[in-house]
Amino acid sequence: MESLIEQIKHGQIWDFHGGIHPPEHKTQSNQGEVLPNIVPTELVIPLKQHIGSKGKLRVSQGDHVLAGQALTETDIQQCVPVHAPTSGVVVAIEDRTIAHPSGLSDRCVVIQPDGKDTWGPKTALPAYRTQPPEQLIDHIRSMGIAGMGGAGFPTARKLQSGLARTEVLIINAAECEPYITADDRLMQDCADEIVAGIQILNHIVKPKLSVIGIEDNKPEAIAALKAAVESVDEDILIQVVPTKYPSGGEKQLIQIITGKEVPAKAFPASIGVLMQNIGTTYAIKRAVLDGEPLIKRVVTLTGKTLKTQQNRWALLGTPIGELLAHHGYKAEKKLPRVIIGGPMMGFTVPHTQVPVTKTTNCVLVPTRKEISPAKQEMACIRCSACADVCPAHLLPQQLQWYAKDQDYDKCQDYDLFDCIECGACAYVCPSEIPLVQYYRQAKAEIREIEAEKEAAERARQRFEAKKARMEREKQEREEKHRKAAERRKKAAQQNTGSDDALNAAVERVKAKKAAQAASSDVKPAVAAAIARAKAKQAEAAQAGSDEPDNSEMMKLREERKRQARERKAAKDAQKASATADSQATSDNTDSQDGKKDAVAAAIARAKARKAAQQSDTNSESTPAAEQSSASEDAKAQTDDAGDKKAAVAAAVARAKARKAAQQGDAKAQPDTAADTSSDAADTASAADETNDKKAAVAAAVARAKARKAAQQGDTKTQPETAANKPPDNAADTASATDEANDKKAAVAAAVARAKARKAAQQSHTNSESTPAADTSSDDANTASATDEVNDKKAAVAAAVARAKARKAAKQTQEDKE
């Protein structure tokens, strides 16, 4: 059995399913040679003229470019750059309408030619046989070459996929579309250059066999190719195939020549076949041997609205309107149409300013009679004619239903993307259904959905990768912390002694801080008192006493009260001193300062004598058995103490009077001690009657004496009788008597306060019973002095009383010793 290569060499051909035979109309444009290109007023060059992504722009507005200069750059094989077709100035970089079925706009570089057609440096590789295939492929990519007969697949990417796996190289020269003759005239006029391009491809992919597939309706092209092939030493086969549309399709021509079918969603390289278009082969020769990038191509200008229907070289970016103008274009009035491509696979553009691109092989401008306009779509009659002519073995009717219903899953189940959009189904449809339009719309929607899914999938993968990375970092941190803890534990086990010393030092510091906090919160005296109180309570609890001993706590409380009163008295004294200084500056009050001091001293002595009398009265009310043993001694000591106290009080009064006389006005007369002592009781009585405030002060003084006496009694811890007390300390005598009867200090203090209040009341009563004759002589002066007595005098009186009480307590202690 002969191999596939031998069968092809012997002229064996196969056939594909379906196909049609529409009118060709090729003789309208293939009778003359290819016309030279024209230089338009402006060139509009889209940045994307192929399948793939755009390149990075290398020029900006205002730049001057040369012919063949790259306008974009890229380093990936799926993207090819675009080049300047001629020299000129970049006047704009903006969106313009491009040659696409959607009629949308895309980014374009607008160049205004300067008419000089100045070329930049050319990079040619005449000794290409010494170059490795990879370098040649990269050179082809940099020259911007893409498929020129179909969708514009990047040539370098296709060659890369065919390296070391291509058995049959097929050059597609079928050109089955009606009206189109660009490849036919190119083969007739440039057959030698096409064969040179085939030689370059053979050097790159190294196939076992190279075949030119051409339809039998191009006899002139076949003859020109055979002559060119015979002049070279290459094994190139020219295979003539029957004319049938769409035999120029990639998969259909491969099946005709090799008998193999390309699997769905696969490339021809998967079955060992590589296919290139005639125009692409010519561009490869110009790029490698001449160093010219793809900047122009042959375009068929046909249609009965033109005066001259012929093929012409066109610079890429030339507006179609300028090409048509050179061929006498006269638009149809009722139905003007400009079709890019043939009548089967072409599409209508919105206006004539659409530029020529790398895939523009024909511009068709027919009349209404030449190509009738599309009629109104009717319902499908299920004739199955579309399925009979489909070269891809599809079910066009089912696909149209699902596409119309937007059931894209079903569309993919019925292999929608295997459709080559040849238009054979729509050509034979009796219901005038534009099936190809439904398929194109469905394909666009599916591509958009797939792009969204891919974006979502990439986002999901990135999220999962981030989540995994964070989890991994977390585990690494935990492991790191665990190892660090183990190291610390081992170090602690090794340094047990040092840890014990450290812990002991920490405990000492804590204890020191606690002691400092306790000492700062509680004063030493208070802390000692609290400790003594707690000790006594503990002793009482051990002794079985029901009532705890609160004497220490009472002493502490009284001490705090006393300190508070002293602070208050000091503040009052300062305030009173400031007031007295301000009063001393006035002439009206200077003469009364001495009298105020004398009055205060007299009041203090009178209250002391009244308190002593009241104490004597209380002592007389005690049981006779308690007073009989000490009556005589108490009376003697009381008299002595009274005389001593009176002498001290008189001395203090005289000193204050002399000081007041020195500070007072020169007219003021100093008061003598005799006057002061003789009127002390009267003045005190007048003060009590005139101002209730003075009575309250006197009562407070008495209470202070009583509390002081109680404290002295508790400190001595020995019962004191009335005989041991001076006559001025009546409250002390009562407190001592109560201690002798085992009463608590709290009870003694309460009794002392009650007696002090009673003494104050008795003093007030005695002052009311004083004869009027005693007070009549100084009534006016006393009233005036009482009104002027302020808080300073009360504070002075209280201080004098406290001094007397302390002195009496000291005397009592000396008597005991």
Binding site listing for [4Fe-4S] cluster: 380, 383, 386, 390, 419, 422, 425, 429
For 678-696, b where at least 16 C-beta lie within 10 A, e where not — what string? ebbbbbbbbbbbbeeebbe
Helix H or strand E segment including 43: strand 43-46
Under DSSP, is residue 201 helix (H, G, I), strand (E, B) or coil? helix
Give 146's Cβ-side CA count (13 Å radius): 25
- Beta carbons within 8 Å of 569's beta carbon, 6+ residues apart: 795, 798, 799
- In the chain, DSSP finds a helix count (H) and a strand count (E) of 28, 15
Half-sphere exposure of 135 (CA within 13 A, CB side): 10
Reduce the DSSP state of residue 101 to 3 states and report it. Answer: coil
How far from chain centre, in Å, is Cα 814? 85
DSSP-based three-state secondary structure for 581: helix
The β-bridge relationship of strands 88-97 and 339-340 is: unpaired
Cα separations in angstroms, 518 against 513, 522, 524, 608, 666: 9, 6, 10, 44, 60
Q: Enter the tokens of residue 244.
A: 């049938």
Token representation of residue 562: 């006393």
DSSP state letter for 100: S
Pairing of strands 310-315, 236-241: unpaired
d(CA 172, CA 253): 8
Single out the residue of 750, 756, 711, 712 nearest to residue 731, CA to CA. 756
Q: What is the DSSP letter of 129?
A: G
Rounded Cα gap, residues 121 and 292, in angstroms? 10
| 8-state DSSP, 319 | B
Sheet of 273-277, strands arranged across: 236-241, 209-215, 168-172, 273-277
| 45 backbone dihedrals φ, ψ, rounded to 5° | -110, 105
Pairing of strands 310-315, 296-302: antiparallel
Q: How far is CA 16 from the centre of its chain?
A: 63
Query: Does residue 666 sit in helix, strand or coil?
Result: coil
C-alpha span between 797 and 606 (Å, rounded): 11
CA distance 301 to 73: 32
* Count of CA atoms in the C-beta half-sphere (13 A) of 503: 7
Extract the annotated binding site: 380, 383, 386, 390, 419, 422, 425, 429
Q: Per the structure block, which two tokens stand in for 802?
A: 């406290």
